[in-house]
Amino acid sequence: MGWFWADNTTTASPSCPVPHSNIGSCPVQHSKQDQPQVCPVNHKGLSDKLNPLNQMPYSISSNKAPGQKIELPKQRTMSTIPKGESTDSGNWEYPSPQQMFNAMIKKGKGDVPEDAVESMVDVHNFLNEGAWQEILNWEQRHTAETKVDPRLLKFTGRPDDLSPRARTYSYLGKVFPSQFGTEPPFDRHDWTVLRSDGQSGWKQVRYVIDYYGGPDDEDGMPSFYLDVRPALDNVSNALDRFEHWSKDLKPLWEKALGRTKD
């Protein structure tokens, strides 16, 4: 999902932002239960040298591709996500639909319908913004202490690597299909977040994000589920998980002990 660009610079289930009446189908096929969800962008096939911050080519042309029939917008959208260690670095910037299309061609995805590219950009931007809001929720305790907002240093797509939790959910879905979904996430990303150390430096914290396709909502629009959490790389991240989830469980304990009213 994370198509931020560095040059020039289970949680909520948001509905798809794409106006489906304008295209033949959503680029992520959520309604097909007989097929696994797949990310609409192929993360393989690049032979160019990649930028280590986002695993994308350093530069992608904004020019119309050979044989391209539809004029695609070349304007890029700025995200709300701070980039790098310095405020001078600004925010991460999303690719334009034309850049997205050119990048997919370089990745061997030239068969993508041209009229679906703008919707793909909308979906990717929408999900990345949602993922960042979840990270801000996780980081809230630390931000309150340091009075310094977190920033995103880099990210990498790992669509072929199931996270341990996703693998566990997949197994449980086979054993308890009514309690757990059977479809694996259609994408995975690892984001390296910069957390203030309370002085003048940063601590790097790796977050794992699993992207799931949910059922259509009451209006027939597809929905998405983002499972965002710090990776279990160290004791500090494990404590963050415990603190986060114990806070969510506190109201249930209070009710069970009769300390709250229905």
One pLDDT digit (tens) per residue for the chain, 262 residues: 444 433 333 444 554 444 433 333 344 444 434 444 444 444 444 445 666 666 565 667 889 999 999 999 999 999 999 999 998 999 999 999 999 999 888 877 768 899 999 998 999 899 999 999 999 999 999 999 999 999 999 998 888 899 999 888 888 888 888 777 668 899 999 999 999 998 989 999 999 999 998 877 788 777 888 999 999 999 999 999 998 888 765 555 455 555 565 5
> Residue 256 has what pLDDT?
52
- pLDDT at residue number 21: 37
Per-residue pLDDT at 61: 83
**119 vs 150: CA distance, rounded Å:** 29
Give the position of tokens 């809230």. Answer: 140
The pLDDT, as a whole number, for residue 19 is 40
CA distance 115 to 247: 45
Spatial separation of the C-alpha atoms in residues 103 and 50, rounded to whole Å: 12
Using alpha carbons, list the distances in angstroms from residue 36 to 101, 123, 223.
23, 18, 15
pTM: 0.74
> Can you give the residue ranges of every domain in the chain?
20-231, 232-262
Burial (CB count <10 Å: 0-12, 13-18, 19+), residue 169: buried
Query: Cα dihedral angle (40, 43, 44, 46), rounded to 10 degrees?
Result: 110
Query: Token pair of 72, please?
Result: 């695609």
